[in-house]
Structure 1
């Protein structure tokens, strides 16, 4: 049977940091006495951002842990992945050799939305330096280091696109697992050092728009359908 795209559903909102976030970038500008571990930044405007790959990878990992589909394996050696035919693969896809599934979910890079507010208040442009001290367990010697973080209160634009194909027949299941992965992320962390308090986030879904495939390709005045109200309960639960 030929694969046919039925529609694209765009989910937009805001991801707000409740604690400082560190997603590492290059240390090409590292100086003596300066930051030891910098955050990833957009080279065009120097603003920190959240890579879509980091966000999507964390969502998938948390969903697979909750479903119990993870396995102890070596990367690159598995023919049939841990969630090869499971609920996670239906949403996020897989790249196994025998039965590949394309991802149904596109997660965009999250760009900073309150940059001017942060720039006025932060010691480093848009970020803060946090001093941490590593204690040698044998000699008790202290080894201080500076970690760069995007501070609590920073807001990022969230944008995801869910593709619905004719052969899927599981749109409600895809959305259920999408919201579940977001809820798990809200109660976990994003980025590094989460067990030390970094990366707690809140998620506010603001709009869900649906565009059917027959509205593309030169259809005049085609407008997406706003289906946000359909997911009112899930959106409110995510806020709680």
Structure 2
């Protein structure tokens, strides 16, 4: 007799956007692959990309910026760093398939962290599930997957220098690659002979302002299981942990101190994606009479109000 056909359905009930500016308070190094390093250049270089800013209008003045070479922060680097900090913060179990690299991951096939309500994995993602195999071996787990599982919630985009920062450089006539970077010489000293082994590092100079956006997909199952508050708290906590540690390489030597600024929290309701009407884009902080803020602590202290406002808008 054939097994009954299984049905699973997930509904998107909203998209949260946490918009922000990110300023590196100290030199920032997210290393470029060696294959792309310039011959005769520094030993270590940050990641750069050609970005088209087109035409920027600011204070009624038109800036024809066009394509320029700028440093950027890969979304994968930012997401991975925040996730790793949260894994340590929560004391999440770590696993290894080769006894060399230990990571936290929910992998049902390997019986690694099979808790389907684990907020960290739900928010940041986990490997795909081969449901056909599980159906044959574990009916109870199959039912739990059908009830609780959903795709990765958090989307992290690459960060580029903000238009305001680019305009500031344009006003100074400094719109070149060199305007974004500084050269730093470091030495490795032989502990026996005291011989020096100098190297040159190019890193993003302090106080470059990047523009960023975290997107969080909310599903009906998240509302049903009461997980939305946990996801928002987890993301804000991760942002604060990043501020108090570092981003990129050489953080223990003072590199990569960052600060989130001008944070806003936006809800895009499902109707927005049907109509394109901005009436379905809700500024949650504005509704709560909270100005765009540089304080993650403020947002954490008022997370209950923020989540309640989001839920009210979703239900409304």
Q: Give me the TM-score of the superposition, normalised by structure 2.
A: 0.67
Q: Structure 1 residues 83 and 24, CA, compared in 2 at 3 Å: closer, same or farther?
A: farther
- The answer to whether the aligner puts 1:168 opposite 2:225 as a matched pair is no
Report the alpha carbon displacement of residue 213 of structure 1 after superposing the two structures with TM. Answer: 1.2
C-alpha change, 1:182 and 1:233, in structure 2 (3 Å) is farther
Corresponding position: 1:108 with 2:162: no
Displacement of 1:172 in angstroms is: 1.1
Q: 1:55 to 1:136 in 2, by over 3 A?
A: same
Gaps of 5+ in 2: 1-7, 52-67, 131-144, 299-316
CA–CA distance in 1 between the matches of 2:208 and 2:184? 16
Query: Which one has the largest radius of gyration?
Result: 2
Q: Does the Cα contact within 8 Å between 2:19 and 2:263 map onto a contact in 1? A: yes
Q: Once the 2 structures are TM-superposed, how far is the Cα of residue 163 of structure 1 from its aligned partner?
A: 0.7
Closer/same/farther in 2, CA of residues 184 and 221 from structure 1, 3 Å limit: closer
Cα–Cα, structure 1 residues 83 and 67, in superposed 2: closer, same or farther, change >3 Å? Answer: farther
**Paired residues, number:** 239
Q: Is the 8 A contact 1:21 1:190 kept in 2?
A: yes
Q: Which has the higher contact order (CA 8 A, sep 6+)?
A: 1
**Is 2:7 the counterpart of 1:21?**
no
Distance 2:293 2:200 in 1: 37
The corresponding residue for 1:5 is: 12
**DSSP-derived class of the 1:103 partner:** coil
Whole-Å Cα distance in 2 between the matches of residues 72 and 103 of structure 1? Answer: 20
Bigger mean CA deviation after superposition, 116-125 or 10-19: 116-125
Contact 2:271 2:280 in 1 (8 A): no
Residue number in structure 1 paired with 2:208: 154
CA 1:231–1:202 in structure 2 vs 1: closer, same or farther (change >3 Å)?
farther
- Is 1:140 the counterpart of 2:194? The answer is yes
Residue matched to 1:238 = 296
Deviations 1:52-79 (A, max 9, x none): 0000001111011000004252459962
Task: Please state how far the C-alpha of 1:83 moved relative to its aligned partner.
Answer: 8.2
RMSD: 3.0
Cα displacement (A) at 1:87? 2.3
TM-score by length of 1: 0.86
Q: How far off is 1:25 after superposition?
A: 1.1
Partner Cα separation in structure 1 for residue 168 and residue 183 of structure 2: 17
Question: Distance between the aligned counterparts of 1:153 and 1:90, measured in 2?
Answer: 34
Unaligned runs of 5+ in 1: none
Residue 30 in structure 1 maps to residue 79 in structure 2: no
* Structure number with higher helix proportion: 2
For the structure 1 residues 117 and 220, does the alpha-carbon distance in structure 2 shift closer, same or farther, using more than 3 Å as the test? closer
Report whether the alignment pairs 1:41 with 2:48: yes
* 1:103 Cα offset (Å): 1.7
Whether the 8 Å CA contact 2:25–2:258 is kept in 1: the answer is yes
